[in-house]
Structure 1
């Protein structure tokens, strides 16, 4: 099959083979320079824009929601549709899998939040809001689901088991709530709004414990670091701001601002599991990988043909999922991104030194505070010098 101009992705490294009729993957080509070294795969199957994406089942599956009125559970290995949830009455703005992978919550423009049985694809219960349901999430302990309506700005927390109402509030914001997330310990809820503010709601005291102002436009998304020390917010002002909510340093110093990454409004964000990387998607059709410690952009992932709507990161931080209005989901491999020349260059610009390992000859980075004379081998060679690594025969391979 000939490769058309629309098939060319400047960051593609390999051709993605066609697996099923639902995976009509575009063929990638080499860019004519050494910087193009990011592998990717493209998942097709939705008939309209994809609004959210999530790894699930130990990163062996993904779940997506779409304007085509469906949620879909996909196999990562084959790309096949494992289950389709299609009894929605309108656009599905977001869906979220429970930690035990048995239930799926979905937020829909038909004003309903639904919880589904993943195995059978049947609705367990549904409840109606006063307006469009803009977002939803299941708590980390799997007991509750939060959903938000845009007309009355109601934030409702319900039992995942039977849909019974646990708490409800409609006075948090003066504008439409764009995103709502449980904190890692599930004791707090973070909401972002078109009124340019961020609120943290304590579920025990039922009070707002933090009111954050900093963005100059609509705040579109938020995410917690896993240790709950940091909260990141993204905005239509094209910026991300990271708030130290553990020490409250932002009260005197303000949030750390991550800029010079996007040319369009930020639409989605998420931390890597270990908290060292931050990912953001934008209306400029790109995904930016940030160094969460110093706020500098490491890498920009290009290829989507419309704005990026959702992001998720694998448990080992090697893979990034992105959903887009272009009807596709992209799976990016960033596990070896530190060896990409453009990433190395960005590290040097952020105050890091790049040197070659005396043992293996490969480049690695050290901070300006480290002593180059004492640090002459990469971490892998230092580990091997102190303790021999197992042979390839001893390493179990996984498909």
Structure 2
């Protein structure tokens, strides 16, 4: 989470009102919507035998000076040449988090260069990036162990096996959008949620897992939805569409059970069922601080998460260069307030169909119809992004292909 230097991260929070004020300072930063970022995550496989496990040591050798400290505490954790930060998730998934850019073209070009650099490093080590939102060959297996990941596994195990699938086998595409000016926040917040089910359906890539078909279009999202609704359900709902985003997010965050309690030892597992509100009320030996609250917020995983900007988390990882298409669609839908308003109107009737999107994808007629309409809006707004001719043409073709698939589902 991006922090302002003037914030005191060790301030004790005396009550829920103080916690709410701190959430307001860090989670919804307003201003002109100018920056966009992207986070690309992949499963990683042996190039000759994709079902073969890849261990931490092999990843470390491949990533070298770009290795995160989670796999080498002495690593300089250097960014890639065009600014992308490399992280490794608990199952060995590799992620690039881009530097935010003021233009989509600059974001695509810089991120593609970073992907090429990462790909070359992995290729030299006999490794390859996956092409789907879920590992199609292997069962869940821990690769990176930290106190945070150990606590996550323990807490998620209380709810069943979905937590391990999520931690060790899933890969996503995340798009980061500015929250906008104060008068724009509510509409951008609602739209980011509402377009989720149709875009999840349109870009689902996770129908196979551990050598078999799952019966889901996005078994990745199915795993997320099955973990713990208190930390993975959507914050916005068409049932109460006009609810203030800050109020809704504050209540969500304070009501969510703790996932980790950081300490000096290796065991960060919290007592079962203790929420952050309970901690504020004295449920634990020491009171929480602003730093504890920020860390707690980082353990909440709804489809859209406010982090000073809007982090869109519901898209499956895409094969090869195809990640640029959903990025461009979202950027186009949010390029102008009128387009964002029209996208919200199109998507609101299907905004609660998360399970249907994960299960059926574009075989769900209402979702396919909404996706078709959203692609039409995106194509009309695409010139607003100012893409160079070559990127514009490639992106337009990609959206048209996705629109054709959605239209077939609608029929």
| Alignment TM class, shorter chain as reference | under 0.3
* TM-score of the two chains, using structure 2 as the length reference: 0.24
Larger radius of gyration: 1
Higher strand share: 1
Higher helix share: 2
